[in-house]
């Protein structure tokens, strides 16, 4: 029997401190369980990886977005398969590895918003193999640390911005296109010419430019009407566009009935071959003209120039002027022909037109015979 006032060893084992610790552990377990259930039911697609980059949570919204069931990825590091055809890190992986320097490598097309100590944000086109279609996703990934500052998990959330991105791309394309012909517009031409001029200056390779003009187009419009004139321009534009076959070639509507074709890494002889193909292809269309003072069918005059930029050139004005002058000479010599800027004098001599005089360097804003 135990003496009064002296606690038994049995009762002393149930100390208030131990009971408190058990209560604390139970509270944490309940909180963890609640957090997991809450994350599972979030409407935002979310997944969580542990420090070893294994998936521990893949919520239902993430299943719906990716088409990949949680059972296929939980406990694995195969979460990349939901987004890409070939293995590569997801944003959460870069957070877990603390590799902000690799962001440009994997998200170079769309700039990441950077490392702010709380994780990374980026936007990217994802191939979504299970869905069979691409999605443009806004991605946020942030670390979770314990009280000691050790990483215990990384949470990645996803937002589908595909519709917004496609609308944005469509607007940009619309702003860069000519409404009538669908070719690049003058603004796009100017930007591309400056870009390719700078590249040609670095590489010291030639940059060729074609100016293509529909002969007697004002007479055509007056004779056939503006609707038929628009159809004529669309037909010519289609021919010019078909000859912009390489990735950096650019066909554009320069203005009115005049088109331009930028041909990087091409000398004048090769550019003239393409110009002749364009001229011949339009003649083969046999678009009836028939206006007084013009021929039976629509024809083209083409001015061609090619130049390797030098230190004294400054900008592409010399190339523009040379192609423009060549086009002017083509008009002076009777239209329906290709003239290369490098052979302007020879063309005059061959046709016995010395008396006509070779025009001085031509200014774009001046009037020109059509």
pLDDT computed for residue 369 by the predictor: 42
- Between helix 162-176 and helix 186-203 the angle, nearest 10°, is 90
Closest of 45, 134, 129, 133 to residue 87, by C-alpha:
129
Whole-angstrom distance, CA of residue 79 vs CA of residue 90: 8
pLDDT band for position 108 (cuts 50, 70, 90): low
**Three-state SS at 216:** coil
pLDDT computed for residue 10 by the predictor: 46
Looking at residues 19-25, what average pLDDT do you find? Answer: 46
Helix (H) or strand (E) holding 277: helix 268-285
Choose the catalytic residue: 257, 258, 325, 347: 257
Q: Are 287 and 235 in contact, with CB atoms under 8 Å apart? A: yes
pLDDT computed for residue 311 by the predictor: 81
Question: For residue 17, with 0-12 CB atoms within 10 Å meaning exposed, 13-18 middle and 19 or more buried, which class applies?
Answer: exposed
CA within 13 Å, CB half, 233: 26
- Residue 193 has phi, psi (to 5 degrees) of -65, -45
CA within 13 Å, CB half, 317: 8
**Three-state SS at 236:** helix
The first and second tokens of residue 163, run together, are: 């519709």
Torsion of CA 277, 327, 323, 183, to 10 degrees: -60
Looking at residues 118-123, what average pLDDT do you find? Answer: 87
pLDDT computed for residue 111 by the predictor: 45
pLDDT per position as a tens digit, 29-69: 555 677 778 888 889 999 999 999 999 999 999 999 999 99
Whether 325 sits among the annotated catalytic residues: the reply is no
pLDDT computed for residue 109 by the predictor: 57
Dihedral over Cα of 225, 231, 232, 233: its sign: positive
Q: Are 289 and 297 in contact, with CB atoms under 8 Å apart? A: yes
Radius of gyration over every alpha carbon of the chain, rounded to an integer in angstroms: 35
The first and second tokens of residue 73, run together, are: 């990825």
The domains found in the chain, sorted by start residue, are 29-166 (3.30.450.20), 177-356 (3.30.70.270)
> Which residue has 């590249």 as its token pair?
199
Closest of 132, 137, 135, 145 to residue 121, by C-alpha:
137
Whole-angstrom distance, CA of residue 101 vs CA of residue 87: 19
Dihedral over Cα of 89, 93, 97, 102: its sign: positive
pLDDT computed for residue 237 by the predictor: 97
pLDDT per position as a tens digit, 271-316: 999 999 999 999 999 999 999 989 999 999 999 999 999 888 878 9
pLDDT computed for residue 119 by the predictor: 84
Whole-angstrom distance, CA of residue 363 vs CA of residue 137: 49
Dihedral over Cα of 370, 208, 337, 246: its sign: negative
pLDDT band for position 27 (cuts 50, 70, 90): very low
Over the chain, what is the mean pLDDT?
Answer: 86
Specify the length of the chain in residues: 370
Closest of 122, 150, 154 to residue 138, by C-alpha:
122
Looking at residues 145-156, what average pLDDT do you find? Answer: 92
User: Which of 203-238 are b and which e, b meaning 16 or more Cβ less than 10 Å from the residue's Cβ?
Assistant: eeebbbbbbbbbbbbebbbebbeeeebeebbebbbb
Closest of 337, 343, 370, 344 to residue 358, by C-alpha:
344
Closest of 60, 23, 54 to residue 38, by C-alpha:
60
Question: Which of the residue ranges 102-106, 110-114, 175-179, 242-246 has the most confident prediction, judged by mean pLDDT?
Answer: 242-246
Whole-angstrom distance, CA of residue 288 vs CA of residue 284: 11
Looking at residues 326-341, what average pLDDT do you find? Answer: 94
CA separation (Å) from 187 to 60, 89, 191, 315? 47, 39, 6, 16
105 Cβ neighbours under 8 A, 6+ residues apart:
none
């Amino acid at each position: 029997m135990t003496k009064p006032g002296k606690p038994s060893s049995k009762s002393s084992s149930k100390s208030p401190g131990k009971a408190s610790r058990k209560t604390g552990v139970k509270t944490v377990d309940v909180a963890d369980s609640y957090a997991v259930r809450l994350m599972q039911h979030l409407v935002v697609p979310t997944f969580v990886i542990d420090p070893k980059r294994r998936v521990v949570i893949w919520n239902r919204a993430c299943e719906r977005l990716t088409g990949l069931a949680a059972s296929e990825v939980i406990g694995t590091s195969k979460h990349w398969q939901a987004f890409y055809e070939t293995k590569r890190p997801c944003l959460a992986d870069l957070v877990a590895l603390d590799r902000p320097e690799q962001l440009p490598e994997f998200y170079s097309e769309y700039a990441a918003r950077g490392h702010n100590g709380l994780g990374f944000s980026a936007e990217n086109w994802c191939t979504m193999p299970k869905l069979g279609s691409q999605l443009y996703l806004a991605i946020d990934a942030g670390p979770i640390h314990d009280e000691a500052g050790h990483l215990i998990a990384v949470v990645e959330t996803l937002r589908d911005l595909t519709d917004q991105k496609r609308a944005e791309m469509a607007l940009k394309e619309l702003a860069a296109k000519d409404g009538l012909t669908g070719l690049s517009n003058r603004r796009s031409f100017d930007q591309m010419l400056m870009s390719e001029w700078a590249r040609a200056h670095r590489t010291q390779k030639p940059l060729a430019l074609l100016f293509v003009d529909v002969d007697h187009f004002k007479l055509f419009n007056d004779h056939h009407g503006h609707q038929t004139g628009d159809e004529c321009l669309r037909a010519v534009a289609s021919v010019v566009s078909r000859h912009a076959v390489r990735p950096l070639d650019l066909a554009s509507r320069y203005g009115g009935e005049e088109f331009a074709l930028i041909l990087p890494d091409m000398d004048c002889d090769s550019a003239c071959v393409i110009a002749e193909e364009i001229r011949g292809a339009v003649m083969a269309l046999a678009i009836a003209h028939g206006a007084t003072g013009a021929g039976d069918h629509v024809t083209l005059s083409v001015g061609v120039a090619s130049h390797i930029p030098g230190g004294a050139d400054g900008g592409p004005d010399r190339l523009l002027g040379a192609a423009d002058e060549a086009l002017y000479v083509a008009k002076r010599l009777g239209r329906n022909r290709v003239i290369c800027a490098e052979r302007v004098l020879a063309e005059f001599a061959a046709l016995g037109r010395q008396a006509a005089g070779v025009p001085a360097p031509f200014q774009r804003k001046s009037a020109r015979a059509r």
